[in-house]
Chain A
Amino acid sequence: MAVPSLQRAVPGWLRRFVPRRRWRRYPPYLFYLFIASWLLVGFLFLTSAAVVVNTVESFTTWDGFVGDHLHWWILDNYQALVHDSGLRDSIKQTFEYTAITVTASVIGSLGLAVFLNQPHRGVRFFRSVFYLPTAISIVVAGMAFATLFNYPSGLINDVVLHLGGNVTDMLDTDTAFVAVILMSVWQLGMGMVIFMAGLQGISPELLEAACVDGSSKVQTFFRITAPLLSPVILFQVITGVISCFQAFVAPMALRGGNGVQSSTLFYMLYVFGSLAPGGDCGYGAAVLEIGFVFLLVLAFVIFRLSARFVYYESSVEGR
């Protein structure tokens, strides 16, 4: 580009105060132009504003209708949280559900991934079959499991009857909890695919070396494959916990909107119940605030951890 003429025009001692016009590939604000849509709508409006609205709401008492039914009620909502036994139960149930579901799906998806990693014909066929439940909507998954556990024409009752048991309405009892877990584990395709990618990332030389050294297949799996996959397993556990925490639609889909059993009244459903208009929305917001705090703490812990276990691929940082 042309040599800046203003630089030459001013006396030498002034030159360093005259901005030098360098040629640039792009104006410095271009980055912000490209992320503007996400930053303004996605981050500031849909995320940050929502958190602020909820936090402010949690300090009020409000019936949820648009209008002037709002009163400030500082901290009373949070005091009430401590004595809310329904909330405590829902959190306990969510933790139980999360622990069982995450353990079962991580083990199950790793098992299926190992199964599909064998050199046989038909891997792709089985892979599609195992992934199919993940592709369909959770609403339909819930309906499918409802037909299985149904009273009286469900398949499970059918089997129970053949074995000489009594037909019961399983979705009206605590069995609904088991049904929700089975349904969540059934949709483990995503974890399976991630584990398959992880397994393919293990260098064959390593497995071969183990084989040459006389290690059995089981030994190789527990001594070599599993340790090498440990970052993937940790990732699966974290995403599993986050997704189980959101459990909301699954119990609803199983028995329609109004039939949620107390054994499947998870945290998110409890939030939903307490936020219903006409109730105390301020209190509901305080209940929801627990979730925000929990996940923010979790996110912070993950960030700290990820520095240790995540491998950062080098990328073009732009010029």
Chain B
Amino acid sequence: MKTVFGLAVLVGFGGTLAAAQFAPWLAHTRLPSQTTVVANGGRAEQFLIRLPADRIAATDAAAGGVRAVTGSGAMVLPAKFVAEPLLVEHFKVRDTGGNVVGVAARHWSASAAGATTTWSLLIPSRGAMILSAPGEQRGALEAALQAAARSPNRVSNGGTVVAMASADAGTVTAGTGEFAGLSGTYVENWTVAGVDDEGKLNATIELSTITRQPE
């Protein structure tokens, strides 16, 4: 009897410590990565954001134009920043299969040296990737929507594509976890279908990355 009790205590003690060490309940659920190998080396992976469903929050200042949010999901900036050329957006991120795999923050700001865009993409089960590029012109989406409204093909074209970052400008700047040590480029396109009656932007953001391990 004493032996059984002693063994059970040891098993309970050791099992609990082992569970604490490996903590499997803290692991993030992972879906298969939708990556492809590109011809000249490296890997390509595209991330999608569908608006308005995937918008978590955005700042409310005028610089955001149709992307600024008022009411629910608005980040109300302090008065000092309201007139600044600054737009901060938070999104959920999907893979090409349409599954939500992560979250992202996008910061657009402008200074005397020009506008810049930075992305922080967090895929919890894999790591984070930081992207940066020269920023789009202020009001780029609004200008594209107005131009499309004047186009005779506006009904059949399925949306207006706005290039926010081209491959020769968008760079993968830093990474952690699975993305650590990778360098590469990215392209950011917004396919804008329009603005609904509630003022919400209907669009799909495509972030197409090509990364490789530096030799």
A pairs with B: no
Q: Which residues of B contact A (CB under 8 A)?
A: none
